Amino acid sequence: MIWNELKQAFGIFTLSTVKFGFGGVPWAVFAHLPFFKAVTLTTAGGVTGSIVFANVSEWALDGWTKFRTKYIPYRKKERKNILDSKFVQTVKNKWGLAGLAFFTPIVLSIPIGTMLAVRFYNDKQKVISYMLVSIAIWDVALYFFYNHFYNVLAHYFHHATV
């Protein structure tokens, strides 16, 4: 029994590192984890993902640039870069790092949002701090949202099948 709980906790933690709002938190709620356990697991996963991707982002982006220039020197059609996205530019210009951190757990994923934040704002500690606050706030809000949503669906399907 304990191995199943550990596997489930590890899966929730791992999924929260990359897909927080539509992965880790719903899984924790649908697994009927108590509030404190669910919030602790998913927040720890989201913050761990933020720390990892903040530290890996420079290395990964520099490596990708070197790889692209060496092996793909000529590009026929330039694809749209995520840095030039209208949504990202609007958030960056209007709300700054706080806005980018606010939208990361729910709209963007943790890796993409953290990499963008580190790319735009070089202070990794500040980026991680903003992400931590945003992840914690979204975690509590999404827990209660999904918990209510789950109860509504369970109630609906219970009456529909009877």
Q: Tell which residue, 157, 48, 27, has the closest CA to residue 110.
A: 48
The answer, yes or no, to whether residue 20 has pLDDT greater than 60, is yes
Domain that holds residue 17: 2-161
Lowest mean pLDDT among 13-22, 73-82, 116-125: 73-82
Other Cβ atoms within 10 Å of 153 Cβ, number = 11
Other Cβ atoms within 10 Å of 148 Cβ, number = 11
| Average pLDDT taken over every residue of the chain | 83
Lowest mean pLDDT among 44-58, 92-106, 147-161: 147-161
Query: Could you tell me which residues come within 8 angstroms of residue 12 by beta carbon, excluding any fewer than 6 positions away?
Result: 24, 27, 28, 31, 33, 38, 41, 42, 45
Lowest mean pLDDT among 41-50, 55-64, 123-132, 150-159: 150-159
Rounded Cα distance, 130 and 98, in Å: 6
Q: At what angle do helices 86-103 and 110-120 cross, to 10 degrees?
A: 110
Whether the model clears a pTM of 0.85, i.e. scores above it, the answer is no
- Beta strands per DSSP E along 2-154: none
pLDDT category at 37 given cuts 50, 70, 90 is very high
- Split into its structural domains, the chain has a count of 1
Per-residue pLDDT tens over the stretch 66-103: 887 877 766 655 555 555 567 777 777 888 888 888 98
pLDDT category at 134 given cuts 50, 70, 90 is very high
